[in-house]
């Protein structure tokens, strides 16, 4: 309580004092560009994913524009030790995302390499995923996918290349016949989710859907 008085929580955009659990004030909230995509229908992220791998459904919460509040929010989460931003983003997601009759069986977030996890201190996707899991009553698994290399994944051009490549990710246990929701922070080229999706698809008779906090168009 004393710390709240001495160091009140402030809007990350305009610095107004706000409730401890919030990221932005009501005025700045209107500047966030939500996508309003339909998870079960065609949308820009589904079109991009389909160029890379067979995808079931897709959803992106916000647009990731240059010099935007949306970008600031993601950067606060990833690089400025604002892990609680994941909870806020998840709450915004549950207010907008309807799985309808196509809910996944399992939620899986993109893993960090152990070295990166030690450097950052947390995986920015874990609180987000866990909050969604509790709301939708869908289990999650933080250990199903393993990141094998510390360096960034390189673009894989075709399916044969994907099968032959020294995989950046691997599936750690047997999984088959599951509809898996793959969760990431920002969708740009799609190389990361594509690499993981192919590992899941090749592991058994699985289907993959994609959920991202933000999409960089």
- Residue 2 has which token pair? 């004393």
Task: Please state the rounded mean pLDDT for residues 81-93.
Answer: 92
- Give the contacts of 11 (CB within 8 A, at least 6 positions apart): 17, 18, 22, 23, 24, 25, 28
pLDDT of residue 79: 86
Q: Which helix (H) or strand (E) holds 108?
A: strand 106-109
Please report how many Cα atoms fall inside a 13 Å half-sphere around the Cα of residue 107, on the Cβ side. Answer: 23
pLDDT per position as a tens digit, 162-211 = 444 457 899 999 999 999 999 999 999 999 999 999 999 999 999 999 99
Task: Please state the rounded mean pLDDT for residues 22-42.
Answer: 94
pLDDT beyond 90 at 4: no
Cα–Cα distances in angstroms (integers) from residue 129 to residues 16, 66, 72, 85, in the given order: 29, 25, 20, 12
Predicted model pTM:
0.88
The residue ranges of every structural domain in the chain are: 1-31, 34-215
pLDDT per position as a tens digit, 108-160 = 999 999 898 888 888 999 999 999 999 999 999 999 999 998 764 443 344 44
pLDDT beyond 80 at 10: yes
CATH code linked to domain 34-215:
3.40.50
């Amino acid at each position: 309580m004393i710390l709240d008085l001495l160091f009140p929580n402030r809007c990350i955009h305009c610095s107004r004092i706000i409730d401890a659990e919030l990221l932005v004030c009501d005025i700045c909230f209107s500047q966030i560009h939500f996508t309003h995509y339909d998870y079960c229908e065609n949308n820009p992220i589904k079109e991009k994913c389909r160029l890379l791998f067979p995808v079931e459904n897709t959803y992106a919460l916000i647009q990731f524009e240059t010099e935007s509040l949306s970008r600031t929010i993601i950067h606060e989460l990833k690089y400025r030790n604002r892990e609680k931003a994941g909870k806020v983003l998840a709450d915004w997601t549950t207010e907008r995302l309807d799985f309808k009759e196509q809910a996944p069986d399992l939620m899986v977030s993109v893993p960090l390499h152990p070295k990166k996890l030690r450097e950052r201190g947390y995986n920015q996707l874990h609180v987000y995923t866990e909050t969604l899991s509790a709301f939708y009553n869908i289990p999650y698994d933080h250990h199903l996918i393993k990141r094998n290399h510390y360096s960034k994944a390189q673009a894989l051009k075709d399916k044969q290349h994907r099968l032959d490549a020294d995989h950046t990710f691997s599936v750690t246990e047997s999984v088959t016949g599951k509809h898996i929701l793959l969760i990431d922070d920002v969708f740009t080229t799609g190389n990361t989710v594509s690499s993981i999706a192919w590992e899941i698809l090749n592991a058994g008779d699985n289907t993959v859907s994609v959920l991202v906090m933000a999409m960089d168009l």
